[in-house]
Amino acid sequence: MNKRGIVLVNLGSPDSTEVKDVRRYLREFLMDEKVIDMPYIPRTLLVKGIIVPFRAPKSAAAYRSIWWKEGSPLIALTKQLQQALQQHFEEPVVIAMRYGNPSPRAAYDALLQLNPHLEEVIMVPLYPHYAMSSYETAVEYMQEIHKKYHYKFSLKTVQPYYDNADYIHALAESIKPHLSNDFDKLLFSYHGVPERHIYKGDTTKSHCLKMNDCCNVPSTAHAQCYRHQTFVTTALTTMALDLPSDRVEQTFQSRLGRDKWLTPYTAQRLAELPGEGVKKLLVACPAFVSDCLETLEEIAEEGKEIFLHAGGESFEMIPCLNTHPLWVLAITKYIKALQQAD
């Protein structure tokens, strides 16, 4: 009997669009010290006393605008990916969410129910890039639950794949059909992070955002530098699509609060581009492999409205990889490479 299992780890979503469920989800998400990296007491006062009470009703309305009959798009798409991957493995494949349900413990228990003799679990974080507030917190939380509940099976983790040839090929091929439409520019919009996260993640403490052109100067810091990794993804995908650099731009979205985040900001550039002659825009969101609130609502709805209001003529958000066959094939390769490493 095969004694392995596979768990796909994604961000998470509220259980429903009810304000109470969104409130619960936001509390769990924003109380993560790797998302809002403040001491516990001021973080609690900020999140539970200010952000969540004001943000929950607005977020609930945003979720309602993109909710599917199957529920959360992110959860539904992750389940579809699970089913697609299961066709390639005899080992059971389950899903877990960093926040919300199904929890890591529920995922581990599901694998044990399917195989009580489980000896090894391969964890696949659905985050191409290393960031403290995404890949790092998901992996560390999965490891924390594994240790806390004394699971006897071992854990192996797929490393960030932002520059992996199979990921880049899948991303480029998912974008390519949309390039047949008339467009002025392709915008790569990545989830933003505060600049202080980049400083904190700098293992050298002297490179990131401190050295001129830091992302293009070789450094060991790049292994954990989200900013560098997003630039690499954009450059490799642009090359794969054979696009000239003046038809491509990169921005960062989803800023929260007043602190300085990675720039340029997506919303700001969407308002500026029409005035610069960019009237027809394509937008891809490579930091997300599954469509979610940040793509379906923030970009496809809010972003489109900003761009058109500023004088844009056409706006198209390119879907995330979701269950693209080449993406399924890429993940299959990552998992099998870890299995063969034994």
Q: Quick one: 2 exposed, middle or buried, by C-beta within 10 A (0-12, 13-18, 19+)?
A: middle
Q: Which segments of the chain have a pLDDT < 70?
A: 1, 342
Query: What pLDDT is recorded for position 252?
Result: 98
172-317 matches 4-161+325-340 in CATH topology: yes
Query: What pLDDT is recorded for position 253?
Result: 98
Query: What pLDDT is recorded for position 138?
Result: 98
Please give the sequence-ordered ranges of beta strands (E in DSSP) within 200-264, or none if there are none: 248-253
Query: What pLDDT is recorded for position 129?
Result: 98
| Structural domain spans, the chain | 4-161+325-340, 172-317
* Residue 36, amino acid: I
Query: What pLDDT is recorded for position 258?
Result: 85
Query: What pLDDT is recorded for position 1?
Result: 58
d(CA 62, CA 42): 27
Q: Which CATH number fits domain 172-317: 3.40.50.1400, 1.10.8.640, 3.50.50.60, 3.40.50.970?
A: 3.40.50.1400
pTM of the model as a whole: 0.96
Determine the topology of domain 4-161+325-340 in CATH: Rossmann fold (3.40.50)
Query: What pLDDT is recorded for position 341?
Result: 81
Tell me the three state secondary structure of residue 160: coil
What tens digit of pLDDT does each residue of 281-321 get?
Answer: 999 999 999 999 999 999 999 999 999 999 999 999 999 99
